[in-house]
Amino acid sequence: MKIIKILIINILLFYNQPAFSDEENFNDWLIKFKKEAMSNNISESTFNKVMKDARYLPKVIEYDRYQPEFYEDTLTYISKRTSRNKVKKGMQIYNDNKKLINNIDNNFNVEKELLLSLMGIETNFGTYLGKMDIISSLATLSYDKRRKAFFTSELITLLKLVEKNVIDHNILYGSWAGAYGNFQFMPSTIENYAIDFNLDNKIELKSYEDSFASAANYINKLGWKKKGLCYKEITLLENVPKKYLNTSARKLHHKKKIKSFKKYIKNFNDLDIDSNELVAIITPDKDIIPDAETLMPAYIVFSNYELVLKWNRSLRFALAVCNLKDKIKNEL
């Protein structure tokens, strides 16, 4: 029995060690990161003010490794995020803020239903903004190896925004990935696209005025085509070459005029679109979900869909946004 107890203690010590080591190494990383931040023209006073309470958050690493986009099949992912209740909630937000949202729609040439959909998918219309300490989240992900360069850049951008008094570091609570506000803007998105729409000399991305306008500005600058198509579901024939099947959101390959894919699409004649439209084929469950059917579900996607991918690099996220957009449009 004594030997068993010793073994258990050793096992517990072994499994607890990485967390301790991560915290120790994080503190060492913080010292090195300070030098990097100051080399990017961040003042020492700003760094100390913003980073003084930064800490390593193991939970953030867990969230990063276990995102819904990694394990939910496409139809489940979409149905969870585009329910009838979600549509009703979107319509309520619109009816309560009709003048503002219509004004933003007209000013930025971006459909109101798209803006409502993005807000609905990102934060359930502002009801779930996240409660994580954004500074510590970004620091943890910058320390981590998986996407170190990206999150280091985002953290430095955040420090610059605080230095310029664009945002108040004391209110920065949001997602585990460091996103903030009704539309979950990352620091670089705030820097490049956020605007003070109500002209009160501050950008507040939890307010409807600034958040809706900033989201519209972002989508407009990406090149959104108003009233353009997003996606169409298709039924593929077994003879489709595998090279045409996109499974990654990083970059869509083999884009062609849809007429070039006609011989591979069973329901081609039911699509009712210009045969010269440039599209790509995606099969989002292939190679991601264990035992997934290779060719189901399948979609042809258009340029607007690719723009949503620039907002969030997830095939399922973009499909859900476009799906909810269409459902809200049907209620307007």
Q: Which CATH number does the domain housing residue 171 bear?
A: 1.10.8.350
Q: How many CA atoms lie within 13 A of 6 on its CB side?
A: 3
pTM to 2 decimals?
0.87
Count of domains observed in the chain: 2
Of 222, 252, 279, which residue constitutes the final position of a domain?
222
Using only C-alpha atoms, what is the Rg of the chain? 23
* Unique residue bearing structure tokens 């077994």: 238
161 and 249 fall within a common domain: no
Domain residues for the domain of 199 are 19-66+129-222
| Rounded Cα–Cα distance for residues 312 and 320 (Å) | 11
pLDDT tens by residue, 133-163 = 999 999 999 999 889 999 999 999 999 999 9
169 and 264 fall within a common domain: no
pLDDT tens by residue, 224-254 = 999 899 999 999 999 999 999 999 998 999 9
Residue 73 located in a structural domain: no
The angle formed by the CA atoms of residues 154, 157 and 163, to the nearest 5 degrees, is 145
| Rounded Cα–Cα distance for residues 133 and 130 (Å) | 9
Eight-state DSSP code of residue 242: G
- Assign 68 a pLDDT band (cuts: 50, 70, 90): low
| Average pLDDT taken over every residue of the chain | 90
Per DSSP, the three-state class of 59 is helix
pLDDT tens by residue, 8-29 = 434 433 444 444 467 779 999 9
| Rounded Cα–Cα distance for residues 114 and 68 (Å) | 22
39 and 142 fall within a common domain: yes
Residue 325 located in a structural domain: no
Phi first, then psi, for residue 251 (nearest 5°) are: -160, 130
In DSSP terms, 282 is beta-bridged to 246, 299
- Assign 55 a pLDDT band (cuts: 50, 70, 90): very high
Q: Per-residue pLDDT for 35 more than 50?
A: yes
Residue 171 located in a structural domain: yes
